[in-house]
Structure 1
Amino acid sequence: MNKIVLLLFIFISSSLIAQKRSQKDNFVVQIKKVKGDLNKDNLADLVVVTQDTINPKAPYKLSIFFAQPYGTFKLIVSTIKAIDPQYPEGKNGYYNGNSFYDITIEKGILIIKNELTRGNFEHKFRYQNTNFELIGFSEVYSDGQGTMGMVDFNLSTGIRVSTSERYDDSNEKPTKSQKKILIRPLPKLQDFKPFTTEFY
């Protein structure tokens, strides 16, 4: 009886390990790779976006590696939540209009760029307090009926500016509003998922 239980335990453990490995190893298609100094040590760090094309949702994985003094790289953070899957509801499901476009490093800031059906949005992360924290969100969009909107949210200061204007022949004047919305603590990259709040 003990032997059967032991064999069953080994089989289940092996299956779980194999499943974990296969899930992890499916992110093998490299979509984007960029280098730049993210932690101000004058070494070019590495950011890689890979995709699991076997999964029907085709999720992306974002991995950040800090450069080490002798040419090697150390994994600092890896997440599959920060970029929406290519097919959030599966290839035959509803398409929400969001699609990953690019990732860049500008002045030490990591920027994740996405396209909308009518517009685009960006999330900006800076390495501080031993984490990559969300410090900025911007969006440009159209309602498809002659109105264009823009949002610029500086999470560091809490200042969120929204503007709206007509791009057709209407004589309506542009509108602009500014609010202070303090988000504390700042969202960390490893926990971040876009548009889980109304603000970013």
Structure 2
Amino acid sequence: MKKALLLFILIAFGFNKNQEESILVDIYGDLTNDKVEERVVVTELAEEGEYGKIRLLQIFTKKNNKWIELANSKSAILESEAGGFSGDPFISKSLKITNGILEISHDGGSSWKWFITHKFRYQNNKFELIGYKYLFGKPCEYFETTDFNLSTGTVHFEKEFETCENKEQITTKDENENFVKKISPLPNLNTINVKKIKIVTPKYKNEFYL
């Protein structure tokens, strides 16, 4: 009788746990350049992090007609409340596969808005970061844009300052620069949003983080 009761409790607990998890994204596309589609799944877990529920990203490849996990990450997709005042920074359309590249976008903020995109390519037996784009700013303060091609090391950075009167823009000042920054090893799905890499622009000494 005790064994039966214990089994019932374990089954009920497992069912409730699964009920607390939900699949946010389930898409297909060729990520390994073998003309066979991989499967990418994002699951919102019951597990809580510092900024809400943790999301698990899993990438599966097909071998012998079975799905085998190729990679996973709990840091590539931001937590459910990491968007600040804007709420959830991630929606289903934030993840896509284009020309073999896995692209993940997030956005958030309140008066200060931000938008970020990471692009990953499967190379060296892992999904490495090859592209990074970041936009941040507030009207009548400044807007900055960072576009970093990690494959070539080329960085384009723009910062536009605005001066306003009665919420109307009256003057602007720009800080634009292009430079090369090589990073080795490249960040990957398991280090992104975990190990921050600080980069300082050489001319105007602006800072941004991968």
TM-score by length of 2: 0.71
TM-score by length of 1: 0.74
Q: 1:104 is matched with which residue? A: 96
Task: Letter of the 1:52 partner, please give it.
Answer: L
Q: 1:91 is matched with which residue? A: none
Q: Which runs of 5+ in 1 are unaligned?
A: 1-20, 89-93
* Structure 1 segment 56-71 matched on structure 2, within 5 A: 57-68=52-63, 70=65
Q: 1:51 is matched with which residue? A: 44
Confirm whether residue 180 of structure 1 aligns to residue 180 of structure 2: yes
1:194 CA displacement: 5.7
Q: Which runs of 5+ in 2 are unaligned?
A: 1-13, 163-167, 199-208
* Structure 1 segment 157-172 matched on structure 2, within 5 A: 157-166=152-161, 169-172=169-172
* Distance (whole Å) between structure 2 residues aligned to residue 157 and residue 131 of structure 1: 18
* Distance (whole Å) between structure 2 residues aligned to residue 195 and residue 144 of structure 1: 30
CA distance 1:166–1:39, shift in 2 (3 Å)? same
SS in 2 for 1:59: strand
* Distance (whole Å) between structure 1 residues aligned to residue 121 and residue 152 of structure 2: 14
SS in 2 for 1:55: strand
1:153 CA displacement: 0.8
Q: In structure 2, which of residues 28, 47, 52 is the aligned counterpart of residue 35 of structure 1?
A: 28
Judging by fraction of residues, say which structure has more strand. 2
Q: 1:75 is matched with which residue? A: 69
**How many residues end up aligned between the 2 structures?**
174
1:136 CA displacement: 0.9
Q: Over the residues paired in the alignment, what is the CA RMSD in angstroms?
A: 2.9
* Distance (whole Å) between structure 1 residues aligned to residue 116 and residue 78 of structure 2: 13
Q: 1:4 is matched with which residue? A: none
* Distance (whole Å) between structure 1 residues aligned to residue 47 and residue 189 of structure 2: 25
CA distance 1:132–1:197, shift in 2 (3 Å)? same
* Distance (whole Å) between structure 1 residues aligned to residue 85 and residue 197 of structure 2: 16
SS in 1 for 2:171: coil
Note if contact 2:44-2:56 (Cα within 8 Å) is conserved in structure 1.
yes
CA distance 1:177–1:50, shift in 2 (3 Å)? same
SS in 2 for 1:189: coil
1:112-131 CA deviation, whole Å, 9 max, x = no partner? 11012213110110001111
Aligned residues: percent identity? 27
Note if contact 1:126-1:133 (Cα within 8 Å) is conserved in structure 2.
yes
Q: 1:197 is matched with which residue? A: 197
Note if contact 2:38-2:62 (Cα within 8 Å) is conserved in structure 1.
yes
* Distance (whole Å) between structure 1 residues aligned to residue 194 and residue 99 of structure 2: 23
